[in-house]
A = this chain, B = another copy of it.
Amino acid sequence: MYDRFKWEGDISLKAVILAAGEGRRLYSKTRGYPKPLTRLLGLSIIERGILTARTVGITDFIIVVGYQGKKIMETLGDGSRYNVNITYVENPEWRRGNGVSLLKTKEFIDKPFILMMSDHVFDSSILKYLLEFDGRYECIIAVDRKPKEYIDIEEATKLKVRGDKIIDIGKKIDGFHGLDCGLFLMTPDIFDALEESISRGDETLSGGIKVLIDRGRVGYIDIKGAFWIDIDTPSDYSIAERQLLRNLIKPTDGPISKFLNRPISLSISKYLVNTDITPNTISFISFILSIPAAYLFFKNISYIYILLAGLLTQISSIIDGVDGEIARLKYQQSKYGARLDSCLDRYSDALIIFGMTHGYWILYGRGELIWFIGTAALIGSFMNSYTAIKYDTIIESRKTKSFRIGRDIRLFLIMIGAIANQILPTLIILAIITNLESLRRLYVMRDTSGS
């Protein structure tokens, strides 16, 4: 018996991934490839599982392969491409139950481990909950107590709980309390249990877990609404795709971002994620689009110039969301990428506002007042970004909803102002609201004085 599973940050837990089955029902998407290699938003399902586990610190994987195992091994290699180590265990008897597959890893396991399914897509928070579990059990199951409407309950493995224990598991049990999400924290005790279960004729993983349940040795964690799905059918595949994209919407997204930019940028990301284009390249594309926008504002030869400039500004604003979306979908986030993006954004903000100011100036008598207004709008925009870094941290820590004038709103206002051919009022509004917003943020942060 293993006393504690408490995850101490310095993780040395291995993860076993069962990837031996055939997955025939997903045929239309797999195109002859083994199911774990089916591509879903730029990554194969099994790659996504590995990279999700890596975010919580797991870097050692044992993958049980069977059906078309060679293809999986060739594709994933030794894991160095993902900065992890992968060991393969071949299971020629992959047509038998998945309990047989797990049993093949027995000699590679001598302490608690994470068990994952190669065809499940899930949020890393479920792994975090498992790793934070602190108790004495031989097996802990991640349980979804309130399955979303898209989960195929018929096909799912059900669980019954009493207190902090699991008391029954199976596909067909009445009055169940939750679903098994295909993620487990286990001790090597599972292997004896599997042997016992197999000798009785039940070759499934559930059979082995049932043996531990009968001994009263199975606990659970609640996944608290976190996302997971078992991809068995083309319909599951589409649901996974949709949910993964939805998860990219940030709670801090402003209103324009949420209702206008995101829906469009997600469609673009859904397409681009399957290409080799990097997030940083997309940051540059968004920046480069702002150059003709600024130039058209700057020249201001006719309304068409202004109109096009406004539309380009909004397009640049939308593309500005794509880099982060692709980075998150492909686990390519980097601090440097975020910094590059934010610096380029500042330059494109400045170019556009300068272009607008100059364009108005050449058309209307070359006065000096417009330079005041333009400079004030420029300063205000910068100050918004300058204060955003600290402000967002504070607001997030307070967990209060708060309206915030961000880049999405600023660039949207510019587009609206351009369509209405009202450059001066737009600059005046920008100058006022951005500077007032900076003052408001300074005022809000005042409460944190001394901290």
Contact = CB atoms under 8 A, between A and B. Distances in A.
Contacts of A342: 386
B350 A386 contact: no
A236 B359 CA distance: 66
A418 to B, nearest CB: 20
Nearest to A342: B386
Interface stretch (A147-155, A255-263, A376-384): A376-384
A101 interface: no
Given A339-B445, A346-B382, A385-B386, 5 more contacts: A335-B448, A378-B378, A378-B379, A379-B382, A386-B386
Contacts of A387: 339, 343
A382 B375 contact: no
Interface in A399-420: none
A334 B450 contact: yes
A271 interface: no
Contact of A375 (B334, B354, B389, B451): B354
A304 interface: no
Interface residues of A, number: 38
A424 B340 CA distance: 30
Number of identical monomers bound together in the oligomeric complex:
2
A337 interface: yes
Nearest to A332: B450
A215 interface: no
A27 interface: no
A82 interface: no
Nearest to A367: B366
A339 B390 contact: yes
Binding site secondary structure of chain A? helix
Interface string A421-451: 0000000000000000010001001101111
A98 to B, nearest CB: 35
B335 A358 contact: no
Contact of A442 (B340, B442, B450): B340
A2 interface: no
Contacts of A164: none
B368 A362 contact: yes
A347 interface: yes
A153 to B, nearest CB: 40
Interface string A347-364: 100100010011001100
A390 B375 CA distance: 26
Nearest to A353: B375
A379 B446 contact: no
A339 B340 CA distance: 23
B442 A383 contact: no
Nearest to A83: B450
Of A339, A340, A362, A371, which is in contact with the most chain B CB atoms at under 10 Å from its CB?
A: A339
A336 B446 contact: yes
A386 B382 contact: yes
B358 A368 contact: yes
